Amino acid sequence: MNTEDDKLPHDEQLSSLYNRAKHDIPSEQIDEAILSAAKRDTSTYSLPYNPFSNNWRIPASLAAVLVLSFGIVTLMENDLSPVNGVTPHVIVEDALIQKPSSIAKEQASLAKARSKMATPPLHKPATTEPAISTDAATSKGLFTSKAKETKRNEKLVSKKKQASQRTKPEMADTLSLSAAMPISTVGITTGTDEQAGLPYWQYKDEGLSIRFIQRLPDQTRGYFIGRGFSAEHAELIAQSCVFQTIFKNISDKNTPSEIIYNMQNWLVHHNGKTGEMKTREKWSTQWQQLNIATPAKLAFEWGLLPTTQDYQAGDYNWGMAIFDLPLASSFTLQLNWQQFGEQRNVTIPNMQCAADIHADPESP
């Protein structure tokens, strides 16, 4: 029973005024991200409790499992066929059914790949983490004409809503993928990156945080022309789908766990096709053929997130991630990495490549 002591102090006039000011609601993009995560989660995992359960559910579930198993096997067979001349690496999605021996084998192959590659050092966390703007994050200590670029970027950022409006999600991609692969999308958030002012997609769990921030083609052009690329060659990168990526091992200090990833195993689903990331090694072959100067090639290599890397607890790194997709396209990214002694997987649906938005001329 409520007593006088349990009453909240109240002012009718203020309450009524506040009710008049209640306009803010989350964006439709956020609604969609949360509801699709909730929906996908119910279709992915076993159900602990169902207040509406009936006896027919058990035989029905068994029948559904048989039908789904057959469907998944058929779809996996289809997925094994080469797409765009590349045979995608097929991953068993459920970490629980991956055998330890296969993890060890994969780790050994990753270690072998890593030993062949010179990867830039990781950034150890400082007491106060540095602010990461899209350009600062990309520069990684190289000389940058940031002052000149700042004003230009402000104008670019002001166009971000136009870019988002022009890129419509291609739901068909996501739906067909979710039917084929039971993958968790819980932990994914999206919105506008506070510092870059551009859309981002983020996955976060108890061990990993990875954020992909859209990068406008003009930012990419400016960045690479400023680092020795000709306009023609910078255009090759700018016409790709580029994201600024921030990768952090956020495992607890009391239960630290190393992360190992290999971007070559990540899958990109677009328009019903599956492909791979365009890694620095693939670009390197292209730069070789085009006789790009060494300083420009080095700047490019340092600008990209390493293809494979180890992260101890607290380590973080950033760099560009490039997808060989047309500007303004929508796609689904399937990530995997090793942590806590298992392979972990996540699918980020409806990622949007930036459209080619040009800044207005600067006012005199």
Which residues lie near another protein (CB under 8 A)? 2, 5-11, 13-15, 17-22, 24-27, 30-31, 33-35, 37-39, 41-43, 45, 47-53, 186-194, 202, 204
Cβ-based neighbours of 163, under 8 Å, separated by 6 or more:
198, 199, 214, 216, 328, 354, 355, 357
Residue 17: CB minimum distance to another protein, A? 5
- Integer CA distances (angstroms), 127 to 131, 210, 311, 318, in order: 12, 20, 18, 18
Q: Write the CA distances from 198 to 31, 153, 215, 355, integer angstroms.
A: 18, 11, 7, 12
Closer to another protein at the Cβ: 62 or 113? 62
- 36/329 with CB nearer another protein: 36
- Smallest distance from the beta carbon of 246 to another protein, in angstroms? 13
Nearest distance, CB of residue 20 and another protein, angstroms: 4
Q: Considering beta carbons, is residue 38 or 104 the nearer one to another protein?
A: 38
**Of residues 32 and 356, the one with the C-beta less far from another protein:** 32
Least separation in angstroms between residue 19's CB and another protein is 8
Which residue number, 15 or 158, has a Cβ lying nearer to another protein? 15
Provide the minimum distance between the beta carbon of 236 and another protein in the complex, in angstroms, as a whole number. 32
Provide the b/e sequence for 64-103 (b: ≥16 CB within 10 Å): eeeeeeeeeeeeeeeeeeebeeeebeebebebeebeeeee
Q: Least distance from C-beta 57 to another protein, angstroms?
A: 10
Beta strand 267-270 pairing with 342-352: unpaired
Dihedral class, residue 290 (left if φ above 0, else alpha if ψ from -120 to 50, else beta)? alpha
State which residue, 27 or 78, has the beta carbon closest to another protein.
Answer: 27
Q: How many other C-beta atoms lie within 10 A of the C-beta of residue 239?
A: 15
Count each helix (H run) and each strand (E run) in the chain, helices first. Answer: 12, 11
